[in-house]
Amino acid sequence: MSDDWSESAQAWIADQGELGDFSRQFVLDAAMLKRVEGRGFANALDVGCGEGRFCRMLNARGIPAVGIDPTLALLQTARERDPEGDYREGRAEALAFEDASFDLVVSYLTLIDIPDIGKAIPEMARVLRPGGTLLIANINSFISACADVTWVRGADGSYLHYPVDNYLDERSMWVSWRGIRLKNWHRPLSTYMSLLIAQNLALTWFDEPAPHGGDPSHAERYRRAPWHMVMEWRKP
């Protein structure tokens, strides 16, 4: 069980609401759904499914999804919100599935939460079928480098810039917002890319989606700093 996540689970659920937070509602959901719709995926695994929002979206599109997560309070909410769904306790580092079980494996803003990425990425590749797709949304490494500092502000409170520092130093850090306190991992982009390439996966899509709605002053921050990336990797 992930202790810091357990302590923040209720605040997280409240913060996400039904539609997800700003990142999900106004940036990532549309970009992620575009990558799955109409592709004929027979099934999916959502690694770190949280309270199950993206599994519900996949199920609604006719893609039966299994969600795994180590945080029991989040799994409980996922099951309450989707009693027909399939939500299981599990960790990315040791996926309890046979090799080649899924057409689609999703990591939706979980790579920065997973402590042992050197085990998790091979596991995600292992459970994919040949020809299957690993779809990743992650916080950009240029942002995670300073997630504990965030925006530098002017004397009038205006946002000046988002600093990047100690970029090449892999590390964990505590981050807090709206009653949530979690340990996130910063890793340079090359760490993720090297692990994915080492699995013989081929990068077939890369995007840094722009916000498409929401409060304009909030959206502006997502244009100024390189917040998110979406990648799709195919198993040969």
Ligand X SMILES: C[S@@+](CC[C@H](N)C(=O)[O-])C[C@H]1O[C@@H](n2cnc3c(N)ncnc32)[C@H](O)[C@@H]1O
Residues that bind ligand X (CB under 6 A): 2, 5, 47-50, 53-54, 69-71, 74, 91-93, 108-110, 113-115
Q: 43: closest CA among 110, 109, 97, 115?
A: 97
74 vs 196 by CB, closer to ligand X = 74
Q: Which residues contact 109 (CB under 8 A, 6 or more apart)?
A: 23, 28, 48, 137, 138, 139
Closest contact distance (angstroms) between CB of 180 and ligand X is 9
Q: Which two tokens stand for residue 4?
A: 């810091």
Any idea what the Cα angle at residue 30 is, between residues 124 and 225, rounded to 5°? 85
- 74 or 143, CB closer to ligand X? 74
Task: Kindly tell me which of 202 and 231 has the beta carbon lying closer to ligand X.
Answer: 231
Contacting residues for 129 by C-beta, under 8 A, at least 6 apart: 100, 101, 102, 103, 235
Least spacing, CB of residue 225 vs ligand X, in Å: 18
Q: By C-beta, is 14 or 202 nearer to ligand X? A: 14
Q: How far is the CB of 108 from ligand X (least distance, A)?
A: 4
Which CB, 161 or 208, lies closer to ligand X? 208
Cα-to-chain-centroid distance, residue 157: 30
Per-residue tokens: 90: 């599990």
Residue facing ligand X at closest CB distance? 50
Q: Least distance to ligand X from the beta carbon of 160, Å?
A: 27
DSSP label at residue 94: B
| Minimum gap (Å) between residue 62 Cβ and ligand X | 20
